Chain A
Amino acid sequence: QQPVQSPQAVILREGEDAVINCSSSKALYSVHWYRQKHGEAPVFLMILLKGGEQKGHEKISASFNEKKQQSSLYLTASQLSYSGTYFCGLLVNAGGTSYGKLTFGQGTILTVHP
């Protein structure tokens, strides 16, 4: 079942903060966040694992509430380059048969204005 992202769209001015949420009806092992700019491929931002471990590649933070099966992505002091569509991807099982398959949310469109 597809995870639910909220809000569907956010409009900010440079320097403002935003929070994007992702929730699931299933127990999760890990949550992945991606950003996609118009006409381009999705780009990996970070992963949050059950147990608290995080791996990321940019100055963006996130949280993972295992009990509530929710994750939030925090974008602080937004820059113009943050504009794009943000997707969460969920990994339900961590075992060998999961094959790393992710189920993605429908996306949140973030627009940052000067």
Chain B
Amino acid sequence: DAGITQSPRHKVTETGTPVTLRCHQTENHRYMYWYRQDPGHGLRLIHYSYGVKDTDKGEVSDGYSVSRSKTEDFLLTLESATSSQTSVYFCAIGSGTSGSYEQYFGPGTRLTVT
């Protein structure tokens, strides 16, 4: 158990509303990641963080922003949700040494945009 929680676990929202998903870890890991998972696409990286206030874009970052003001929290924000952002969102932490980071995933958030 890597001590990762996500909230909320389920959310239904309307198109055009802002949404913030929270990832919380208890083990002081430096690296954190946000993924989305859709049928046929596997896990795709949205944004990642390599320290407090240090974040960067992944392969599918359009329409998403992130913030990390504390080591333990990594927030993902959809500024104006669209139906194409309906997905399951996973947060992960990276644990290990350079070149061999194992990633451990949170339980996921199922987001539906109507």
Which of A58-66, A73-81, A94-102 is near enough to bind chain B?
A94-102
- Interface residues as binary, A41-66 with B (CB distance below 8 Å gives 1, 0 otherwise): 11110010110010100000000000
Which of B11-19, B61-69, B76-84, B98-106 is near enough to bind chain A?
B98-106
Number of B positions contacting A (CB below 8 A): 27
- Interface residues as binary, A24-39 with B (CB distance below 8 Å gives 1, 0 otherwise): 0000011010100000
User: For residues 68 through 95 of chain B, which have their beta carbon under 8 Å from a beta carbon of chain A?
Assistant: 90, 94
Q: Are A100 and B94 CB-contacts (below 8 A) given A29-B99, A106-B40?
A: yes
Q: Are A96 and B42 CB-contacts (below 8 A) given A89-B103, A101-B58, A102-B103?
A: no
Residue pair A47, B42 in contact (C-beta under 8 Å): no
Chain B residues near A94: list those with CB within 8 A: 98-99
Chain A residues near B107: list those with CB within 8 A: 40-41
Q: Are A91 and B99 CB-contacts (below 8 A) given A42-B90, A99-B48, A101-B33?
A: yes
Chain B residues near A29: list those with CB within 8 A: 99
Chain B nearest CB from A8 CB (Å) reads 10
User: For residues 23 through 52 of chain B, which have their beta carbon under 8 Å from a beta carbon of chain A?
Assistant: 31, 33, 40-45, 48, 50
A75 to B76, CA, bound (A): 36
Residue pair A42, B31 in contact (C-beta under 8 Å): no
B interface with A by C-beta (< 8 Å): 31, 33, 40-45, 48, 50, 56, 58-59, 90, 94, 96, 98-108
Q: Can you give 21 A-B contacts (C-beta < 8 A)?
A: A29-B99, A30-B100, A41-B105, A41-B106, A44-B104, A49-B99, A55-B100, A89-B43, A89-B103, A91-B99, A91-B101, A96-B98, A98-B99, A99-B31, A99-B50, A100-B101, A101-B45, A101-B48, A102-B45, A106-B40, A107-B42
